[in-house]
Structure 1
């Protein structure tokens, strides 16, 4: 039986904060692998996200070299909104011998009561709540809390800086930065 952590998100773009959280959780919670699960259409975001092919390729570039990191694209293959309940249900049915943990930031812990079928979901998967700036890990749901030194980086911050032609070099893996440059995405301009 493998112990697998699931880290979902748009990864628009994937940055060092995602990688930092994934590795910290993997090591400190003694997980065998982290599966990055990019979403097609997250239910809590109304804004458009970059084409899935670009996000998937950037994620592949971001995790290359770490044998514990993998990508599972099942949400990209499914039409419509991506609900965690549907993803966990599909993964636990397909990999029934493995134990899954779902990694969320403390900002998402606050919204658990609004999650689709959350009462069933907490019976299917262990939640690992990671501390993030500006929010606390307080909920009535069973959450395995993990305080880590946060990197206050967001994909929105990076996209905005790229669009303004500002410096982002140390916020992204170099392979991801090169991909953004080569494909001129996020309004990339030389700074």
Structure 2
């Protein structure tokens, strides 16, 4: 499948872009992961495979920089569920920098620290198509696009437009959300097949989302 790098003026095949093979190619998928579910894992795995990345790291945020603050559970539970979800999965890992820093998780601040800490890494920051429209409002977006390559995850054969350079990757469309899973559990319904069984078992054991 052709993967395209879209800019305001050019449209070139990703395969023509020359990667420096002396540098690591790492994807970052940020989120609250409250809880992590199968759609998160499919996105991370498919982006890694289709872009030929060395690894994709799932990065739980401590506090999202949204005006409408999300209610979330303690980070120790969200981190543990991530660990269970990716156990034994090739090419997936966890980046805990935002949990360690505490405070509001601005992507610019996080990626500045990561690029300074790992100067031999090229970072690919993965976002959903719905977030692409909000890129102009991101904190220090013009500086951020110089530090990372954005990857947009879109439904097959459909690509939203943006003035920022975004690599679009098609993945299977899965209409799953963390809020849906929490709602199921609150209602006493079991969200089978929506998240890894090990994660569901942990939720039950810890009495989460009751």
Aligned to 1:34: 56
User: For residues 111-161 of structure 1, what are the alpha-carbon distances to aligned partners after superposition, in whole Å with 9 as ceiling and x for unaligned?
Assistant: 11111000100011000000159x952211111111222111010111111
Question: Could you tell me which of 113, 135, 145 is aligned with 1:90?
Answer: 113
1:116 aligns with 2:116: no
How far apart, in 2, do the equivalents of 1:14 and 1:147 lie?
Answer: 20
Aligned to 2:160: 137
Question: Could you tell me which of 160, 170, 173 is aligned with 1:150?
Answer: 173
Q: Decide whether the 8 Å contact of 2:154 with 2:169 is kept in 1.
A: yes
Q: Decide whether the 8 Å contact of 1:40 with 1:76 is kept in 2.
A: yes
Q: Decide whether the 8 Å contact of 1:107 with 1:136 is kept in 2.
A: no
With over 3 angstroms needed to count, the CA separation of the structure-2 counterparts of 1:136 and 1:49, relative to structure 1, is farther
Q: In terms of Rg, which structure is larger? A: 2
- Gapped regions of structure 2 (runs ≥ 5): 1-22
How far apart, in 2, do the equivalents of 1:32 and 1:150 lie?
Answer: 24
Aligned to 2:46: 24
**Taking structure 1 as the reference length, what is the TM-score of the superposition?**
0.94
How far apart, in 1, do the equivalents of 2:110 and 2:62 lie?
Answer: 12
With over 3 angstroms needed to count, the CA separation of the structure-2 counterparts of 1:165 and 1:132, relative to structure 1, is farther
User: For residues 47-67 of structure 1, what are the alpha-carbon distances to aligned partners after superposition, in whole Å with 9 as ceiling and x for unaligned?
Assistant: 221110000000000000013
How far apart, in 2, do the equivalents of 1:146 and 1:70 lie?
Answer: 20
Aligned to 1:48: 71
Q: Decide whether the 8 Å contact of 2:159 with 2:168 is kept in 1.
A: no
**Taking structure 2 as the reference length, what is the TM-score of the superposition?**
0.85
Could you list the structure 1 runs, at least 4 aligned residues long, displaced by more than 4 angstroms after superposition.
none
1:4 aligns with 2:26: yes
How far apart, in 1, do the equivalents of 2:87 and 2:148 lie?
Answer: 27
Question: Could you tell me which of 126, 141, 149 is aligned with 2:149?
Answer: 126
User: For residues 64-116 of structure 1, what are the alpha-carbon distances to aligned partners after superposition, in whole Å with 9 as ceiling and x for unaligned?
Assistant: 00131111111001121101101111111111101110000001111111110
3-state SS in 2 of match to 1:59:
helix
